[in-house]
Chain A
Amino acid sequence: MSGKLKLTEGIILGSIAAVVFVVAITIVAELAAPLKGWLKNTFYHHWIGKSLIAVIVFAGFSVLAFAIPHKASLEGINRLLLVLVALVLLGALVIFGFFSYETFLK
C-alpha cells in the first residue's frame, strides 16, 4: 500500500511538473526565437519537442518524487489532486490569455 501511495503521489507531482513546464515553454519559446528555433531544429517541429520534453519532465519528476523518502498518504494524494486541478485550469487560462494578448493587444 505504501508503495502505491508513494508512486501515485510521484505521478501526480510529475503531472504538475509537466503542466507547469508546458505553460512555461509555450510562453518562453514565443518570446525567445532561438529557443523555438532550437526545438524546431532538434525535433523537426517545436511542438514535437515540447511534447517529448514534457514526457521526460513528467517521468523525471515522478521517479524523483518516488525515490525521495517521505511518508505518503491518501490525504497527501487528495491535496495534490486539488493543486493539479487548480494549476491545469490556471495554465489553460494563461495560455489562452497569452496568445490573445500577443494577437490583439501587443
Chain B
Amino acid sequence: MNPLFLNALVWHIFLGIAAIIIFAGLPLLLRGKKLNTGLLKVYSFIGFFGFVGSWITGGYYYSFYYGKAIKGGILAGTTPWVHEILMESKEHVFLFLPFLAFVVLVIVNFFSKELVTNAKLRMNLILLSVAIVTLGIVITLCGFAISGSVVGKH
C-alpha cells in the first residue's frame, strides 16, 4: 500500500472515531440544566467535519484501493460474508452520517437559546446524537471485522 492510501485509511478511521466520540459527548452536554451552548457549537462543528473528512478519505481508499487490492482476497478467503454483508452495509449506512451530523450542526447553531427552554427539542437532539453514535459504533465494528479478514501483506 502506498503512503497516500495508508494515510487515507488512517485519517478515515481517526476522523470517524473522533466524530463518534464527539457525538457521544453531545448528549452529556445537553443533559445539564445550564447548557454550555458555546461548547455545543464547537462539538457540532468538529463532529460534522470529522464525518465529512472520514467520508472523503475513506471514499478515496475504498474506491481506488480496496476494490483492487483487498476485496478479492476477502472473497476468496474463509469469511467472504465479511465483505458481502459487513462491507457492503457499512459503506452504504455510512452515507447517512454526514447528513445527520449536519442536522445537529444546524439545530445547535440556529436554536441555541431554544435548546435551553425547549426540553422536547433537547430530547430529540439527544435521540439523534444517540442514533449517530449507535450507527457509528456498528460501522466501526464492521471495520474491525474487515481489517481482520484481510489476507496477505499490503
Contact = CB atoms under 8 A, between A and B. Distances in A.
A46 B51 CA distance: 20
A50 B120 contact: no
A69 B8 CA distance: 43
Interface residues of A, number: 38
B96 A22 contact: yes
A84 B93 CA distance: 14
A99 to B, nearest CB: 5
B118 interface: yes
Given A47-B59, A48-B59, A81 B131 contact: no
B81 interface: yes
Interface in A51-74: 51, 54, 58, 74
A103 B85 contact: yes
Contact of B91 (A23, A47, A91): A47
Interface residues of B, number: 36
A80 to B, nearest CB: 9
Question: Which 7 residue pairs are nearest across A and B when measured between Cβ atoms?
Answer: A81-B124, A45-B63, A15-B99, A103-B84, A26-B92, A4-B110, A99-B85
29 contacts: A8-B110, A8-B111, A11-B103, A11-B106, A14-B99, A15-B100, A15-B102, A18-B99, A19-B99, A22-B92, A22-B95, A22-B96, A23-B92, A45-B62, A47-B59, A51-B59, A54-B95, A58-B99, A74-B114, A78-B120, A81-B128, A82-B124, A84-B100, A91-B96, A92-B138, A95-B93, A96-B93, A99-B84, A99-B89
A19 B120 CA distance: 23
Interface of chain A: mostly helix, strand, loop or mixed: helix
A57 to B, nearest CB: 10
Contacts of B107: 8, 77
Interface in B29-82: 55, 59, 62-64, 67, 81
Contact of A85 (B63, B85, B99, B127): B127
Contacts of B120: 78
Interface of A: 4, 7-8, 11-12, 14-15, 18-19, 22-23, 26, 44-45, 47-48, 50-51, 54, 58, 74, 77-78, 81-82, 84-85, 88-89, 91-92, 95-96, 99-100, 102-104
A77 B115 CA distance: 12
A74 B59 CA distance: 35
B128 A50 contact: no
